[in-house]
Each structure stands twice: as C-alpha cells, then as structure tokens.
Amino acid sequence: MLRWVLPATSTVSLEALPALRFTALLLCLCCSSGCDPGSTNDAEPVATNASNTTGGTSMGTTSAASVGSTSGGGGNDGATPVERHGQLTVSLGRLSDANGEPVTLRGQGFGWDNWWPQYYNADVVGWLRADWCVDLVRPAMGIEPDGAYLANPAASKARIQAVVEAAIAEGIYVIIDWHAHDLHESEATAFFSEMAAAYGDYPNVLYEVFNEPEDDETWPQVKAYAESVIAAIRQHDPDNIVIVGSPEWDQRVDLVAADPITSDMNVVYSLHFYAGTHGGWLRDRASSVLEAGIPLIVSESSGSEASGMGANNYTEWQAWFDLMEANHVSWINYSVSDKAGETISVLEPGAPSNGGWDTTQLTETGEYIRGVFQSHCD
Ligand code: MG
C-alpha cells in the first residue's frame, strides 16, 4: 500500500525522527491503488496516468520427513508451521512445501517500520503466533520516507532483523519486505545479499524484493531489477522463495504471466488487494494467471478501500478468501498499526507494544481477521 501519510497516533517519536517534523504534511503521495476515489467501483480501471491510479526451523530441523501436512495453519500435531512444511519451493505453479505439495500460509503484515517501530519485537511476533495462530509475518521495511531505510539503514535493518529472528524462534515463516515504491537497485542488492548471507540457511525466510511498483515502472524494468537482486541473493542462498511485484501496485500480474522470470525457479509473484476497491475484475485476472501456471502470493490485503479507509466490504473480502483458499494462494493481512480512524489498522490507538491485546485493543478489522486466522488453526 502506497501510504505515505503519517500515522495520526503512532507513538513514533518525532524527537527521534526530527526530519519528520518538516515533512509530515508533504508525505501524502497516498494513493496506492486507492487514493483515487474513481477506482472504487468494480469496473476494471484504465491506469495510464497518475491521475487515474488504479489501485491502485526450528532452525535446521526441517527435513522433508518432518513435513506431514499441506493444510497450513496451526499446529494440530504440536509442530510449528516450519516443522510441518519445511523448505518452501515452487512446484507445478504453486508455492509448495518440502514434499512438493501446495501449501497455503496465512499471515499478518506489520505497518511501515519507520512509522510503527514499537511493534517490531519478539513479543508481538510471539503473540501473533500464540493468539492469532499465524503461519507467517511480514515486516515492512520503509525505504523512501524521511527516517526510513535510505536515511537510516542501521535502525531499519535492526527492526526487521528483530522480527525475522523472532519468527525463526517461533518456527513460522517471515517475508523480508523491501517496502519501496521506486527502484533502488544498488541499495536493494546490497541489503538482500546481506540478508541472504545471514538467513539463507533458514527455511523460514522469504524475500520480497519490491513491495509495490507504481504506474511509472514497467514490467521489463521491474523484471530486470528483480533478476539482479535474485542473482545477489543466490550467491548466498540457493533456494529460498523470492517474491516479485508488478506494475500498478502489484496488480499487473497479467504482464508477468506474459513474460515471467525464467532464470530462477523459486519465484512467486505478489498480488495486492483491498476488497473495498478491488473486486471481481482483479480476481478474474488472478484466476487467469493462476490457470497459466504462474504462482501468486497475496503479500498485502485487507477489506477496506485501497486507501486503507472506508468500510470493510466483507462480501468481496470473503470472495477473495474463497479464491485464495481454493487455489493455494498464501496471504498476508495488512497491517499491525494503530492509526486512529484507519480501517486497515488492526490495533486501536496506543495498543500495547508487547502484544497481549484484548478485544478492546483491536479494531473491528483486527477482531475480524484474528477470527479468520483462528478458524484455520486446527
Ligand atoms: Mg536456503
């Protein structure tokens, strides 16, 4: 989600991030898919200009022999998700487990680390696993905003690594998300090379190399960038899954299907939806791509409009769940944040930074999605 609006009630310290004081009101590029109110109908929009934006191991113990289930979800046998599914791969056009069986992972995404740093800790990861029963988390490392990775890489990297290492300790999967909206190839290549060297031996880790290209990056550009980052990753890690976005906020998976990456087998393509904006036209596109044998993962989604605001459309949201579950499309709900009045924030303003949230500390969206995760927790 391209959402450069400062969180209204985040506890991010402006003293710690002084540059924010000067730029807070300038950051509203907003508008992922969504800031355009014209894109809220269900017709497939034409996105040709900016004013019409469419929307847009247990470390080391995951042998194939330990993989006994393909259902995803929690631990009915007491095993962690990584113990059950092991090293992920792509098989027959789907994200698959160590046995080559399709797997559906269900997870929760964090809000931008530069705006919600307080939730980037092991307590929150442990709570999301223990209470919400997630298989997967996605720390979102902000790249371009003031105070984010390009300005302060050490602080950003430390936050992401805290979540990655907590996920490894919990035996769940984790997507390292380069939460950018523009191309920064040299910086991304260096970062992912370092991450692959540190974590490439852990089956827990997936790499998402470009959160959401906008409508000013072409698929050939994104593809070339991804191939470069993948090459850097593969110098250290031969096999962990790499997630690649597509133009128009990860919606042009049709362009991907016409010209997929062929230099690496373990690539999965991200598709993002916000059910209040993105309806049947985008599901039809996803279905066509899946039928063509292109593996998809929904690495961001929620029930609201693409702006993150507005009422949840539970009917459309359920239709998305039905599509994802029927096709073994793993998915992430977005996001762990506490912005007042924001529909997609799963936390009420000021919710504790160490998890342990009761229902009064969850938003309507938070309560709903927790229930969805728990319904899969067999
Ligand atoms: Mg590996």
Asked if residue 43 belongs to a domain, the reply is: no
User: Encoding tokens for residue 151?
Assistant: 């300005």
Asked if residue 5 belongs to a domain, the reply is: no
Closest of 38, 11, 108 to residue 365, by C-alpha: 108
Alpha-carbon span 224 to 248, nearest angstrom: 17
Asked if residue 22 belongs to a domain, the reply is: yes
Output the pLDDT for position 217.
Answer: 97
Asked if residue 62 belongs to a domain, the reply is: yes
pLDDT in tens, 290-329: 999 999 999 999 999 999 999 999 999 999 999 999 999 9
Alpha-carbon span 353 to 119, nearest angstrom: 5
pLDDT band for position 46 (cuts 50, 70, 90): very low
The CATH number for 185's domain is 3.20.20.80
pTM exceeds 0.85:
no
- Is residue 149 scored above 90 in pLDDT? yes
Mark the residues whose beta carbon lies below 5 A from ion ligand 1.
200, 237, 239-240
pLDDT in tens, 214-240: 999 999 999 999 999 999 999 999 999
pLDDT in tens, 328-359: 999 999 999 999 999 999 999 999 999 999 99
- Is residue 37 scored above 90 in pLDDT? no
pLDDT in tens, 159-172: 999 999 999 999 99
Mean pLDDT calculated for residue range 94-123: 98
- Is residue 18 scored above 80 in pLDDT? no
Question: How far, in Å, from the CA of 188 to the mean position of ligand 1?
Answer: 19
Above pLDDT 90, what percent of the chain?
79
Question: How far, in Å, from the CA of 356 to the mean position of ligand 1?
Answer: 32
Catalytic positions, please?
212, 300
Output the pLDDT for position 78.
Answer: 78
Question: How far, in Å, from the CA of 233 to the mean position of ligand 1?
Answer: 10
Mean pLDDT calculated for residue range 169-185: 98
Query: Residue 331 half-sphere exposure, CB side, CA atoms within 13 Å?
Result: 23
Asked if residue 355 belongs to a domain, the reply is: yes
- Is residue 267 scored above 50 in pLDDT? yes
Asked if residue 56 belongs to a domain, the reply is: yes
Question: How far, in Å, from the CA of 267 to the mean position of ligand 1?
Answer: 13
Range of the domain at 333: 14-37+51-374
- Is residue 262 scored above 60 in pLDDT? yes
Asked if residue 6 belongs to a domain, the reply is: no
Output the pLDDT for position 249.
Answer: 97
Alpha helix stretches (DSSP H) within 181-334: 185-199, 219-234, 247-250, 253-258, 280-291, 314-326
- Is residue 55 scored above 80 in pLDDT? no
Asked if residue 9 belongs to a domain, the reply is: no
Output the pLDDT for position 1.
Answer: 60
Per the structure, the count of domains in the chain is 1
Mean pLDDT calculated for residue range 105-123: 98
